[in-house]
Structure 1
Amino acid sequence: MIMPSIVNTSLLCLIYISILPLSLCATKYQPNWDSIDSRPLPAWYDEAKFGIFMHWGVYSVPSFYSEWFWYRWKGAEPYPQVVEFMKENYPPGFTYADFARSFTAEFFDPAEWADIIKASGAKYYVLTSKHHEGYTNWPSNSSWNWNSVDVGPQRDLVGDLAAGVRNNTDIHFGLYYSLFEWFNPLFLKDKASGFTTTDYRDRVATPDLYDLVNRYKPEVIWTDGSGTAKSDYWKSTEFLAWLYNDSPVKNTVVTNDRWGDDCPCHHGGYYTCYDRYNPGVLQKHKFEDSMSVTKGGWGYAREKPLRSYHTVPQLLTTLIQVVSCGGNLLLNVGPTKDGRIMPIFEERLRQMGSWLKVNGEGIYSSRPWRKQNDTVNSNVWYTKSPKTEAVYAFLLEWPANNIVYLRDPRVTSTTTVAMLGHALPLKWTGAGGRGMNVTLPLLNPATMPCKWVWTLKLEGVK
């Protein structure tokens, strides 16, 4: 016979456990890929859909070719145009380290950057804390005299920007970190040993990662650059187990898949696979397309002509394609050595934001529909709302006859069509059981809801 007091105590315990935060009862992840890969992505990331990336470092001083400037100058196979650039513009004996003193960031205003990021409509932001050159944008204990406090700006750029974003927006703050460094003697020694030695990992990469998480609490950790080493050399699963179990961001942090040469498109959090990954078809695993406003390169490059910059319609097309297929878009711009976001970059970001103010209903928190790209009309892509079951059809081009044929929606007696940003319902007719024809409103430039890419909201369709 069970005593009443025991029953009451057990009931109280069950009630108490039921109201505990789910995080306190979370799975304990083990340092192996089967366990690490089983962790669900925090919901905020899939709902966000759009983020901003920034590559900023010593490479922003020469601001020529790309952020790979140093390697293309002094690497295994130097690029002639980079070598010639140095000969024509700098004296003999000038080293890459000499650029650092000109990385001044005197115009860097974290609040202004935060305002531009917010205006873009992005829900998360990722800054390079260290690229392959090894220079760190925070006072890393592993990078003496090769960091933003010791040489160059003489300020903690990561810390200042984290505060600027968090104090002025509700955007999730994240950090990029390059695991390897092109010319670090410790890494080159480990590589020469076939990665049987681990001095670089133990003295640089691992301490840096723990320091970044504990100091700045990023909600995105975007690793890159395995240097041909596999994840066991980097002890990636050990770090990720700590990150998911015990770190200060264990409940909200998301990670990518670049944790070793064996990882892209196979292990980690969301998949990036390779730069500018836009598969164009529905993916089973959450992915992210990281691309730049410029066509090639990530850091600011002064010599790029206007044709090297993506237009807003091109950027919106990529955003829509990626989201339709279940992914996120991480859009990069490269700030200047003195801390400015160039007007053409700012304009592109603000234009993205103005479009999302009108059409974000079909992007944020959306889900892929049963069709991504219309079967007949290649200029139409779809998403759906998980709450209302509304379907959103994005028109990449406005038809000359003002009539859009949609092959894939199955109309019903309750079907209605609206255009986001336009107050009146739209007329439509069925197409003999094979989709629908939608008549677009007659609008002039002043009454257009947006300048590029228009969104039809379809309700009551299957």
Structure 2
Amino acid sequence: MKNINRHLRLALLGGLCFINTPLVSGQAHTMSKEYHAPQDPAVRQKLQAWQELKFGLFMHWGTYAQWGVIESWTLCPEDEPFINRGGVHGGDYFEYRNAYEKLQTTFNPVRFAPEKWAAAAKAAGMKYMVFTTKHHDGFCMFDTQETDYKITDSNTPFSSHPRSNVTKEIFDVFRKDSFMIGAYFSKPDWHNENYWWRYFPPKDRNPNYDPARYPERWKNFTTFTYNQIRELMTDYGKVDILWLDGGQVRPVHVAGKTGRDGSQYYNQDINMPKIATMARQLQPGLIMVDRTVAGEYENYTTPEQEVPEKPLPYPWETCMTIGNSWSYNKDDQFKTSQVLIQTLIKVVSRGGNFLLNIAPGPEGDWLPLAYERLADISNWMKINSEGIYGTEPCAPYSQENIYFTKSTKQNLLYAFWLSEKEAVVLPPEINISLEGIGKKIKQVSLMGTSTPLKYARKKDTLIISIPSSGKQQQQLKYSAVFKIVYE
């Protein structure tokens, strides 16, 4: 994940068109162009259950929160606009890297209280969570036995805290609140001697040596990776999703990627079949998300900071930041509640899930504004969540500022009228396409009210009359939702 500047754009990614919405941009995230449905019935069942959850919480957290810098990426020696060390230590890379790795010795998030996060997320309608157990920098937020570069090591001040194994604490708390649990895990590990060998300086995000030339070193790295994933699948209770990042770590025959000079990346085969077999023996039905690596271990795709214009023919999830940064930054510019709620609507109208990232700070809590945003979403959900859960896409999916879903079990169509301003002010008359509903309309109402609305139908257009008194829309914010009952 990357910390990147926000702007408006209509993106074309992987041959698919994406909705124009406030986004962040930077290094392109390339979606896989192929999808291989999982063959394991338990995985298919878990995947179907996950698709019904609609809204999830993502959390990027590590020692980098102390500096408020882009997570891990300031260690990467690539000349990319989103990688900026800001002249720290005179711009000397190796001094910077040493100082970064010493952040372990000052990391002490004493305000850590995951119950607060779970309560706020649950109230906002979130039903699953994904936590960064390890990002690319290699610092482990769990009690691994494979390295001392971890939150529970004696070099980390927080290790003396009774809740120092934060991954276990977070998983247990959210699981108790009935969340589906996801473990983010970075396949590359820039701290590990067998990925970035200290004999050579790092050159880019890839190994700084050729694994084919030093096969024993690469074998040690694959063993390290296997053992860490086994720990997460063994010691942390029920895990539903293994969310793997770092798509350059893949066999060369499925790489499909080249460096900036046109050269093929090194063959970084970590034996995913062996990892998957082990992980699913320990966690039956485990959803695996090997991002951007098309094949049997990418059980759903993850368009980053984007919303497809139309439903995709496979499971997918938009992962997006609440502000401009995946990691904590006290000066981050958060998206408005209006943008967040309307993004959720757009994602669900296309049949996807929305994974919203909120980053804890160095003391172990979110910024107050994050709680405010979730409270706003909660208030909106209290009125309109019926149109979010238990629904599926409905053609024409959207028309102008109106987005559609329909119930999977009843003859109900939901039309989300997105407001340009925070307060909803409906026009006297609203025309809604009924392209996906060919039968008779029985009743139309506005969510949050009990009085049926007057309407007329002209062919495939439903004309809804809005009372001039305005009482029907009092206190509505961000989006009005029309509930349409049909035969």
TM-score with structure 1 length normalisation?
0.80
- Aligned partner of 2:300 among 238, 253, 270: 270
1:81-92 to structure 2, matched below 5 A, reads: 81-87=84-90
Local SS of the residue matching 2:372: helix
Q: Tell me what 1:192 maps to.
A: 209
Report Cα offsets for 1:234-281 as digits up to 9, x if no partner.
21123223333x22x313x323242xx6438x8521111x42242111
Q: In the alignment, what sits opposite 2:50? A: 45
Of 74, 99, 103, 2:107 maps to 103
Q: Matched residue of 1:48: which SS?
A: coil
Q: Which residue number corresponds to residue 160 of structure 1?
A: 169
Say if 1:366 and 1:383, in contact at 8 Å, map to a contact too.
yes
Aligned-residue offset at 1:145: 3.7
Deviation at 1:408, TM superposition (A): 2.8
CA distance in 2, matches of 1:69, 1:191: 16
Given candidates 409, 415, 433, the residue that maps to 1:387 is 409
Q: Is the 8 A contact 1:58 1:103 kept in 2?
A: yes
1:418 aligns with 2:459: no
SS of the residue 1:82 aligns to: coil
- 1:317 counterpart = 2:342: yes
Checking the alignment, whether the CA contact within 8 Å between 2:187 and 2:249 is kept in structure 1 is no
**Number of the residue aligned with 1:139:** 143
Contact 1:411–1:430, Cα closer than 8 Å, also in 2: no
> What are the ranges of 5 or more consecutive residues in structure 2 without an aligned counterpart?
1-35, 198-206, 255-267
Q: CA deviation at 1:339?
A: 0.4
Bigger Rg, structure 1 or 2: 1
Q: Judging changes above 3 Å, is the alpha-carbon distance between structure 1 residues 449 and 257 closer, same or farther for their aligned structure 2 residues?
A: farther
Q: Distance in 2 between matches of 1:225 and 1:55?
A: 15
Q: Aligned partners of 2:316, 2:341: CA distance in 1, in Å?
A: 17
Shift of 1:400: 5.2
- Which digits, 9 at most, give the CA deviation of each residue in 1:147-187, with x for residues without a partner? 344314211011111222233x1112221111112343301
Residue 367 of structure 1 aligns with which residue? 392
Residue 279 of structure 1: SS of its match in structure 2? coil
Partner of 2:27: none
CA–CA separation in structure 2 for the residues paired with 1:138 and 1:435: 55
Cα distance change on mapping 1:400 and 1:114 into 2, 3 Å: closer
Query: What amino acid maps onto 2:330 in structure 1?
Result: R
The 3-state SS of whatever aligns with 1:351 is helix
User: Which of the pair is proportionally richer in strand?
Assistant: 2
Going from structure 1 to structure 2, the CA distance change for 1:411 and 1:193 (only over 3 Å counts) comes to closer
> Would you say the 8 A contact 2:318–2:355 is kept in 1?
yes
Structure 2 residue 371 is the aligned partner of structure 1 residue 346: yes
1:193 partner amino acid: D
Q: How many residues align?
A: 408
1:460 aligns with 2:460: no
Counterpart Cα distance in 2 of 1:250 and 1:408: 42
- 2:121 aligns with one of 117, 120, 137: 117
CA, structure 1 residues 96+294, in 2 after alignment: closer, same or farther (shift >3 Å)? same
- Contact 1:275 1:290 (8 Å CA) reproduced: yes
Distance 1:390 1:185, change over 3 A: same
In the other structure, the counterpart of 1:29 is none
- The reply to whether residue 294 of structure 1 matches residue 328 of structure 2 is no
Instruction: Note if 1:337 corresponds to 2:362.
Output: yes
Match of 1:202 in 2: 222
Cα gap change, 1:298 to 1:413, in 2 (>3 Å): closer
Superposition deviation, residue 392 in structure 1: 0.7
Mapped pair 1:55 → 2:63: no
- TM-superposed CA distance for 1:101, in Å, is 2.3
Quote how far apart the aligned CAs of 1:201 are. Answer: 3.5
The 1:391/1:78 distance shift into structure 2, 3 A limit, reads closer
**Is 1:234 the counterpart of 2:270 in the alignment?**
yes
Shift of 1:78: 7.6
| Residue of structure 1 in register with 2:134 after alignment | 130
Structure 1 CA distance for aligned equivalents of residues 107 and 191 of structure 2: 20
Residues 207-242 of structure 1: CA deviation (Å, up to 9, x unaligned): 111110111132121110133433771211232233
Counterpart residue type for residue 250 of structure 1: P
Letter in 2 for 1:236: M
1:240-279 map, 5 Å: 240-244=276-280, 246-247=281-282, 249-251=283-285, 253-258=286-291, 262-263=293-294, 267-272=297-302, 274-279=303-308
Alignment correspondent of 2:78 = 76
Q: CA RMSD in A?
A: 2.8
Q: What are the superposed Cα offsets for residues 377-424 of structure 1, whole Å, 9 maximum, x if unpaired?
A: x10111111110211111102565332111235575443111111111
Question: Compared with structure 1, are the counterparts of its residues 192 and 50 closer, same or farther at alpha carbon in structure 2 (3 Å cutoff)?
Answer: same
| Amino acid across the alignment from 1:384 | K
Q: How far does the alpha carbon of each residue in 1:100-148 deviate from its partner, in whole angstroms, 9 at most, with x for none?
A: 2222110111222221221221000111100011001111112224334
CA spacing shift, 1:280–1:152, aligned 2, 3 Å: farther
| Whole-angstrom CA distance in 2 between matches of 1:106 and 1:69 | 25
TM-score, normalised by the number of residues in structure 2? 0.77
SS in 1 for 2:409: coil
Q: Distance in 2 between matches of 1:301 and 1:195?
A: 40
Q: Cα distance, 1:452 vs. partner?
A: 1.4
Using the TM superposition, give the Cα deviation of residue 191 of structure 1 relative to its aligned residue in structure 2, in angstroms.
5.7
SS in structure 2 at match of 1:323: helix
Question: 1:36, 1:268 within 8 Å by CA — same for their partners in 2?
Answer: no
Q: More helix per residue: 1 or 2?
A: 1
What residue in structure 1 maps to residue 33 of structure 2?
Answer: none
- Equivalent residue number for residue 172 of structure 1: 180
The answer to whether the 8 A contact 1:138-1:149 is kept is: no
Q: 1:37/1:166 Cα in 2 relative to 1: closer, same or farther (>3 Å)?
A: closer
Equivalent-residue separation in structure 2 for 1:329 and 1:379 (angstroms): 19
Contact 2:38–2:299 (8 Å) recurs in 1? no
**1:237 & 1:419 partners in 2: Cα distance?**
51
How many angstroms apart in 2 are the aligned matches of 1:37 and 1:310? 39
Work out whether residues 59 and 70 of structure 1, in 8 Å CA contact, stay in contact via their aligned partners in 2.
Answer: no
Moved more, 126-135 or 197-206: 197-206
